[in-house]
Amino acid sequence: MKLRCTLLLLPVLYLVGCGPSENEVVVDELTGQVLEPVTTEYDMHRLLEDSDITGGQWITTAQVQAFLQQKGSYLATYKDPAWSNKTAAALIVERSKAYTISPLYMLARIQTESSLITSGTSTNLAKATGCGCPDSGGCTISYAGFGNQIECSAKKLRGYLTDLDAGRATISGWKPGVTKSTSDPCSVKPANKATAALYTYTPWVGAYAIQCGRSDIGGSSLVAVKYNQFKSEYAWGTGSTVTCYSGTVDGNVAVGVCVQSSSDGIWRQCLSDGTFTAGTTTKPTTCTASWPWCSSATLGKSVPARTCVQSSGDLQWHQCGAEGLWQSAPNAASTGSGPVGTCFATYAL
């Protein structure tokens, strides 16, 4: 903790003692949030596992809503008018899954940056995930607002992982197996993609890692603390009990997930018995996540999930992914696959 000096009055003389008091409150110099006592220490080279960042795709809006209520969070009753009055829980789940980012990780990120998961007030709502808010101060206006913050955070993290999946370093130079200095400063050699991505987002080790020694900043190590704390505080499940195999996705999807079939364009939803519904021409309103066709300006039409297209706009390859979003697929031309699997079809210029 930061040392502070306290004047101690004794019967005979005055003594000046320096050191953190038992009830001292230490505020994170980056986020302004109150830091909790260090009770868990993480390896700064391996803060989280890759599956911690990208897993949890079975987590539902109902589960996140229940967790927010359990925590007495202001977010439990919040709806974002800029996002069609969607609830905070819906935005956390939908926007995280749109980029194959774990909603549980997003909860940890929100708590680290703004304390909104446990706060009963709206303080810091506009900068919930700290996205677009550099250490130098100030936040980008276009990222202000809860829904925008979730979207920004998930999209940026997916971008970092896309670079790492392709064997490249992230935009700020982080890469597994490569030593780089954090802002603490400490020399860190990320052991996996998750840790490299975390330091790209927040280049501070912080107070909760074994090796660094920083005590006045939460940093990326606090994300690990919150992730594992939240993981143990609620029965999130494993998502492995019941799934449905989808040929369109070329893999299993969780109960509640909707898929627009590559064969006939019909929407089908995974049921709790491991089968899909008969299907409808319109997307069900109860989808926990979805795999729709993606609209391609290059082709002038929509194409099924996993389709790979070389864009006429930037000449780069992209693949149709979850929620109808195009993801960078730099190796599609040579490998026939992208971030969501084997290309359903390929379209080169």
Type of residue at 328: S
Give the whole-number percent of the chain exceeding pLDDT 90. Answer: 71
Residues comprising the chain, all counted: 349
| Pair 260, 305: CB distance under 8 Å | yes
Q: Are 221 and 206 in contact (CB under 8 A)?
A: yes
Contact 286, 268 (CB under 8 A): no
Question: What is the overall mean pLDDT for the chain?
Answer: 88
pTM for the complete prediction?
0.65
> Does the pLDDT value for residue 157 go beyond 90?
yes
245 or 22: which leads in pLDDT: 245
Give the model's pLDDT for residue 336: 94
Contact 184, 214 (CB under 8 A): yes
pLDDT exceeds 50 at position 117: yes
Burial environment of residue 231 by CB neighbours within 10 A (0 to 12, 13 to 18, 19 or more): middle
Per-residue pLDDT tens over the stretch 285-308? 889 889 999 999 999 999 999 999
- Residue 198: is its pLDDT beyond 50? yes
Average pLDDT over residues 131-153: 87
Confidence band, pLDDT 50/70/90 cuts, at residue 18: very low
Average pLDDT (102-107) is 97
Residue 136: predicted pLDDT: 66
User: What is the band of 23 on the pLDDT scale with cuts at 50, 70, 90?
Assistant: low
Q: For residue 177, how far is the Cα from the chain centroid? A: 22
Would you state the structure tokens that stand for residue 288, as one six-digit string?
């926990």
Give, rounded to a whole angstrom, the gap between the first and last alpha carbons of the chain: 58
Confidence (pLDDT) at 255: 84
> DSSP string spanning 26-66?
-B-TTT-PBPPP----B-TT-SS-HHHHH--TT--HHHHHH
73 vs 285, more confident:
73
pLDDT digits (tens, 9 = 90+) for 215-245: 889 999 999 999 999 999 998 977 656 788 8
Question: Given this model, what pLDDT does residue 58 score?
Answer: 85
Q: What angle do CA 157, 163, 165 make, to 5 degrees?
A: 100
Q: Residue range 155-171: average pLDDT? A: 95
Q: Averaged over 10-24, what is the pLDDT?
A: 39
